[in-house]
Amino acid sequence: MNVYDSQRMLDSLSAEGFEQQNEPENADLIILNTCHIREKASEKMYSELGRLRANRRAKVVVAGCVAQAEGREILERAKNVDFVLGPQALHRLPKLLKASPDHNRAIDTDFPVETKFENWPSPVSHKASSFLTIQEGCDKFCSFCVVPYTRGSEYSRPASAVIKEARTLVEGGTKEITLLGQNVNAYNGCSGGLGGLIKALDEIDGLDRIRFTTSHPRDMSDALINAFGEVDSLMPYLHLPVQSGSDRVLERMNRRHDVEHYEKIISKIRVIRPDIAISSDFIVGHPGETEADFIETLNLANRVGFAQAYSFKYSARPGTPATDDQDQVSEQSKTERIARLQVLLGQHQKSFNEKFVGSLSKILLDRTGRLSGQLAGRSPHNQSVHVGVSPKEFFSLLGKIVLVRITKANQNSLTAELVREEEVKPPEVPV
């Protein structure tokens, strides 16, 4: 979501005559768009601000969720910061720069009535794969999470605005759109919810791939599950965070779903799309988590067999309810548990990837690969795939969807070779 917000800030500043610089030393304006989800993310911001002191000329803006949460404290701690701008006030940056040309320090952490989306100019993007925020904020108040406080309450953009933006992206060369939201499947900007929006986007000529993230198990409707069987451009990948495999911990987390509900969703979706890649987020060491609870998380991971997963040590966030709980888990237990979980999740990811060796897949090549002579991109199942291409084809294939045969599987990526359409027998889909 910050990548999307940063891109839109860049678009709005380009309209004011700014140009993007790659090195901070050359810039007149530096924006740090920040994340507050875990403590490490905020610490990174302060160390980056320290490094930026070398450029005395530039105006420095701290934007995003750390700006929202820490406001004035940032101006006190980091004397080189000029402006502090919350995630819902980002569209006001050009105005703020004009109003304070002489380094008058200012803060804007309002939640304005008018949204940034209707104030930003149309996107100026030529990326093969683009993000598009359709929903922001959260009303769920999980015990550990800062999002409802930093991003504000749940808001869905009207479908008409989303479709218009998607068309602009596709006209600019986008082939894949990832719809974004903190609770993207709670989207209610049109009568059919997220499933309805996806069907409307599927009508756009030239939009070959649709994805969405992040979903909450509570908002996973049957209509949305069915869309995986009905809409060809909806890719077979679902990121559905579970956080813990213990009902007792889920209750403490105020997640409003249990393990059984989560596994029911997975079963339903696998009936409709047997090859679907399921991904998840886990938190280990939430206050009150015992070794027995943690074993239940390992058991759930074994039962589901995630294609991909992100796991984090619980990080106490100021102002969230879990921070005040008396039964915090020791750092040592968190470190030890996360290591065990990550080994297991890594094994599952590798065995998911191994099923694809020898099979055909279509890859959207959107970047250069790890080795020279390689391009890289994503498979429909969201795996990172490195494809060898000849120097002659290198630039002409960038941004295209190509047919490949998978030759090798690693834990985090696949290697593949190009296949000419005329060599192809009917595609084999691993299950």
Q: What burial class does residue 63 get, using C-beta atoms within 10 Å of its C-beta: 0-12 exposed, 13-18 middle, 19+ buried?
A: buried
- Pattern 97-136, ligand SAH, x by CB under 6 A: ----------------------------------------
Name the one range near ligand SF4 by CB under 6 A: 102-110, 114-122, 144-152, 306-314: 144-152
What is the rounded distance in angstroms from the CA atom of residue 47 to the CA atom of residue 309?
28
Output 34 or 233, the one with its CB closest to ligand SF4: 34
Question: What is the secondary structure of 199-233 as a DSSP string?
Answer: HHHHTSTT--EEEEE---GGG--HHHHHHHHH-TT
The answer to whether the beta carbons of residues 35 and 41 sit under 8 Å apart is: yes
Biggest alpha carbon–alpha carbon distance for the chain: 66
What is the rounded distance in angstroms from the CA atom of residue 357 to the CA atom of residue 404?
11
Name the one range near ligand SAH by CB under 6 A: 141-149, 191-199, 221-229, 364-372: 141-149
Name the one range near ligand SAH by CB under 6 A: 21-29, 91-99, 107-115, 314-322: 314-322
Which DSSP category does 287 fall into? T
Within residues 272-301, the interface with ligand SAH by CB under 6 A covers 281, 283
| Least CB distance to ligand SAH at residue 388 (A) | 35
Q: Is 94 helix (H, G, I), strand (E, B) or coil?
A: helix
| Least CB distance to ligand SF4 at residue 39 (A) | 15
- Pattern 165-184, ligand SF4, x by CB under 6 A: -----------------xx-
- Pattern 222-251, ligand SAH, x by CB under 6 A: -------------------x-x--------
* Residue 138 in contact with ligand SF4, rule: CB under 6 A: yes
| Least CB distance to ligand SAH at residue 262 (A) | 11
38 binds, among ligand SF4, ligand SAH, none (CB under 5 to 8 A by kind): ligand SAH
Tokens of 349: 């990811």
- Residue of 61, 74, 96, 145 that binds ligand SAH (CB under 6 A): 145
What is the rounded distance in angstroms from the CA atom of residue 391 to the CA atom of residue 394?
5
Look at strands 209-213 and 176-180 and give their pairing.
parallel
What is the rounded distance in angstroms from the CA atom of residue 240 to the CA atom of residue 262?
9
- Pattern 190-229, ligand SAH, x by CB under 6 A: ------------------------x-x-------------
- Residue of 30, 61, 147, 418 that binds ligand SF4 (CB under 6 A): 147
Per-residue burial over 95-112, b if 16 or more Cβ lie within 10 Å, else e, is ebbeeeeeeeeebbbeee
Which runs of E-coded beta strand occur in 118-230? Answer: 129-133, 135-136, 155-156, 176-180, 209-213
What is the rounded distance in angstroms from the CA atom of residue 140 to the CA atom of residue 371?
44
Output 275 or 281, the one with its CB closest to ligand SAH: 281
With tokens 């915090």, the residue in question is 328
Output 125 or 183, the one with its CB closest to ligand SF4: 183
* Residue 141 in contact with ligand SF4, rule: CB under 6 A: yes
* ∠ Cα 25 7 211 (to 5°): 140
Name the one range near ligand SF4 by CB under 6 A: 81-89, 106-114, 133-141, 268-276: 133-141
> Residues in the site for ligand SAH, rule: CB under 6 A?
37-38, 144-145, 147, 182-183, 214, 216, 241, 243, 281, 283, 312, 314-315, 317
> Residues in the site for ligand SF4, rule: CB under 6 A?
138, 140-142, 145, 147-148, 182-183, 216
